[in-house]
C-alpha cells in the first residue's frame, strides 16, 4: 500500500535510519568490548604465567614443583574456571592447579618457540571452552637445564557472561537513545514541514478571498514553489480577464440583434400581427435568457478569489431599479438586512442571484415582497418572499430546470431560477423553495460570510 503522508514517510525513513545506525553501533560496541575483555583477561593470564614461572622449584631429583599457592583463590576451587598446568617436556610429568582436579589441559601437540606466549582455544573440563595462554621456558635445575611448558586457562563462559551483561546494558541505553532520537526526528520533521502548512493556509486565504497571492516567508528550498503558485495565479487572472472580455464582447454582439427583433415584434403587434409578434418576442427573450445564463456560467468558471462585499447596498440598488419598472412601482418591498453584513462573493454573482429572485418575485407578487439576510455562524442566510400564488410542492424542482416555466403565457425565458442555481452551485450552495408566510413563494440560500 502506497503511503500518501509525507510526514509519515519521513518519520519511517528517519526511524529506520536511527534503528539501523544504533543496531550497527550496538554490535560494534559489543565487539569492541569483547576484544577489550579478551585483551584484559589475556593480560591477567600472562601475569599468572610470570607468577608461576617465578615460583617454579626443583627437588634433588630434578622434578618441578611450585613454591606456595597463587593468590587467586579460584586456582584452589575445583572446576572454578581458572586453571594452570606445568608439563615437563622430557618426562611428560604434570603438575596442575587443584581446580583441574583429575583432568588436565589438552594442549596442542606443537612446539612453540621458547619464551613466546601462544594463545589457544581448547576443550576443558565439563565440556567447557578454555582460552589458554602457554609459554615454553628453560629452567636450570642444578643438575642441568629442563624445558617446562607452562599454561594458564580460563573458561570462556566467564568472558561470554561479561559480554552478555555489557550487551544488555548497551541495548537498554541504545533503546532509550533511539526513543530520544525518534522524538527529535518527529520534531525535526514537523518543523521542516511547517512552511508547507503556511502555504496551505495561504491557499485557503486565497480561495476565501482574503488575499490574492501567497505572501509568506518560506525557506529558500520552498521559495520557488511559492513563486510558481503566484505565477500560476497571475496566468489564471489574465485568462479570467480575457474570458470576461470575450463574454462582454459576446453580450454586446447579441444585444443589437435581439433589440432589433424586439422592435420588430412591437411593430408587428402595432400592425395587428399579435400572434407573430408574441412568438418573436418569446423567442428573443428566450435567446437573451440563454445568453445571460451562459455568460454567467463563463464568469463563474473563471472567477478567482472573492472579496467581502456589503449586502445592504446591493439589495438597496436592486430594489431601487425594480421600483422604477411598471410592475415594481406598485409593490411594497421591505428589507431586513443586518447592519454591515458582508458576504464573500463576487458582486456580479450576488447581483445575479438577488436580481433574478427579486425580478421573479415582482412578476408574481400581489403587493408585497420581503428580503431578509442575517449571519448564521460562518454563513449568511438570504430569504426572498412574496405574497403571490406560490408554487405547488410537486412543481418546485421543475422551475429550477433548464428553461422551464409554469406560466407559459408570461414574458420571460424561464431561466432566472436556473441561473440562480448555477451561481450558487459555484459556491457549493443550493437554492431552496418553500411556502412563504406571506402566502406566496420563499426562496432561500446561503453564502459564505
Fold of 6-161: Beta-Lactamase (3.30.450)
Task: Going residue by residue through the chain, which has 449 residues, state the pLDDT in tens, using 9 for 90 and above.
Answer: 677 788 889 999 999 999 999 999 999 999 999 999 989 999 999 999 999 999 998 888 888 888 888 888 999 999 999 999 999 888 888 899 999 998 999 888 888 888 899 999 999 998 899 999 999 999 988 788 889 999 999 999 988 898 999 999 999 999 999 999 999 999 999 988 888 888 888 888 877 667 778 888 888 888 888 888 889 888 887 887 777 777 766 766 676 677 777 777 778 777 777 777 778 777 777 676 666 666 665 655 555 445 678 888 998 988 888 888 877 888 888 888 888 889 888 888 888 888 888 988 888 888 899 999 988 888 899 999 998 888 777 776 666 654 444 444 344 434 577 778 878 887 888 888 888 888 889 999 998 87
Q: How far apart are CA 104 and CA 160, in angstroms?
A: 23
* Bridge pairing between strands 332-337 and 368-376: parallel
Q: Which tens digits make up the pLDDT trace of 40-51?
A: 999 999 999 999
Q: How far apart are CA 98 and CA 74, in angstroms?
A: 9
Q: Which tens digits make up the pLDDT trace of 366-400?
A: 889 999 998 888 889 999 999 888 877 777 666 66
For 114, which DSSP code?
Answer: B
Q: How far apart are CA 310 and CA 308, in angstroms?
A: 7
Q: Name the grid cell of 96.
A: 596442575
Q: Name the grid cell of 27.
A: 554490535
Domain boundaries, the chain: 6-161, 209-305, 306-449
**Closest by Cα among 287, 282, 230 to 254:** 287
Q: Which tens digits make up the pLDDT trace of 19-76?
A: 999 999 999 999 999 999 989 999 999 999 999 999 998 888 888 888 888 888 999 9
Contact 437, 370 (CB under 8 A): no
Per-residue confidence (pLDDT) for residue 19, from 0 to 100: 94
Backbone angles phi, psi at 251, to 5 degrees: -65, -45
**Closest by Cα among 200, 177, 188 to 11:** 188
Contact 43, 51 (CB under 8 A): no
Backbone angles phi, psi at 69, to 5 degrees: -100, 155
Beta bridge partners of 445: 382
Q: Do domains 6-161 and 306-449 have the same CATH topology?
A: no
Inter-helix orientation angle 274-301/347-364, to 10°: 150
* Range 306-449 has CATH code 3.30.565.10: yes
Contact 22, 178 (CB under 8 A): yes
For 113, which DSSP code?
Answer: P
Q: How far apart are CA 406 and CA 395, in angstroms?
A: 8
Backbone angles phi, psi at 369, to 5 degrees: -135, 140
Q: How far apart are CA 350 and CA 360, in angstroms?
A: 15
Q: How far apart are CA 354 and CA 120, in angstroms?
A: 100
Amino acid at each position: 500500500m502506497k503511503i500518501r503522508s509525507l510526514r509519515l514517510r519521513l518519520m519511517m525513513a528517519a526511524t529506520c535510519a536511527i534503528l539501523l545506525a544504533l543496531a550497527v553501533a550496538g554490535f560494534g560496541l559489543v565487539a569492541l568490548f569483547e576484544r577489550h575483555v579478551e585483551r584484559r583477561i589475556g593480560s591477567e593470564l600472562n601475569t599468572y604465567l610470570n607468577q608461576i614461572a617465578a615460583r617454579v622449584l626443583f627437588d634433588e631429583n630434578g622434578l618441578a614443583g611450585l613454591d606456595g599457592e597463587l593468590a587467586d583463590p579460584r586456582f584452589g576451587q575445583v572446576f572454578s574456571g581458572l586453571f594452570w598446568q606445568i608439563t615437563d617436556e622430557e618426562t611428560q610429568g604434570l603438575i596442575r592447579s587443584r581446580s583441574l582436579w583429575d583432568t588436565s589441559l589438552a594442549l596442542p601437540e606443537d612446539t612453540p618457540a621458547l619464551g613466546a606466549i601462544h594463545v589457544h582455544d581448547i576443550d576443558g573440563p565439563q565440556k567447557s571452552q578454555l582460552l589458554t595462554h602457554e609459554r615454553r621456558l628453560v629452567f636450570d635445575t642444578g643438575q642441568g637445564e629442563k624445558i617446562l611448558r607452562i599454561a594458564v586457562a580460563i573458561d570462556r563462559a566467564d568472558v561470554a557472561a561479561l559480554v552478555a551483561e555489557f550487551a544488555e546494558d548497551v541495548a537498554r541505553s541504545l533503546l532509550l537513545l533511539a526513543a530520544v532520537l525518534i522524538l527529535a526526528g518527529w520534531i525535526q520533521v514537523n518543523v521542516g514541514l511547517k512552511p508547507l502548512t503556511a502555504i496551505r493556509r495561504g491557499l485557503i486565504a486565497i480561495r476565501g478571498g482574503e488575499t490574492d497571492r501567497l505572501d509568506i516567508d518560506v525557506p529558500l528550498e520552498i521559495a520557488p514553489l511559492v513563486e510558481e503558485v503566484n505565477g500560476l495565479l497571475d496566468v489564471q487572472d489574465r485568462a479570467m480577464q480575457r474570458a470576461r472580455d470575450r463574454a462582454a464582447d459576446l453580450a454586446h454582439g447579441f444585444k443589437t440583434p435581439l433589440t432589433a427583433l424586439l422592435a420588430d415584434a412591437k411593430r408587428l403587434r402595432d400592425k395587428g400581427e399579435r400572434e407573430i409578434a408574441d412568438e418573436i418576442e418569446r423567442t428573443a427573450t428566450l435567446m437573451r435568457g440563454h445568453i445571460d445564463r451562459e455568460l454567467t456560467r463563463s464568469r463563474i468558471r473563471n472567477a478567482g478569489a472573492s472579496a467581502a462585499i456589503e449586502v445592504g447596498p446591493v439589495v438597496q440598488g436592486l430594489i431601487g431599479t425594480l421600483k422604477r419598472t411598471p410592475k415594481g412601482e406598485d409593490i411594497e418591498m421591505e428589507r431586513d438586512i443586518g447592519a454591515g453584513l458582508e458576504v464573500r462573493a463576487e458582486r456580479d454573482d450576488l447581483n445575479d442571484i438577488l436580481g433574478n429572485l427579486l425580478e421573479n418575485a415582482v412578476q408574481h407578487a400581489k403587493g408585497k415582497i420581503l428580503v431578509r439576510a442575517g449571519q448564521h455562524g460562518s454563513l449568511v442566510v438570504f430569504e426572498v418572499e412574496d405574497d403571490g400564488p406560490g408554487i405547488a410542492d410537486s412543481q418546485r424542482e421543475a422551475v429550477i430546470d433548464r428553461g422551464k416555466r409554469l406560466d407559459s403565457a408570461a414574458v420571460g425565458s424561464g431561466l432566472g431560477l436556473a441561473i440562480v442555481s448555477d451561481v450558487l452551485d459555484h459556491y457549493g450552495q443550493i437554492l431552496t423553495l418553500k411556502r412563504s408566510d406571506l402566502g406566496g413563494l420563499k426562496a432561500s440560500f446561503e453564502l459564505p460570510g
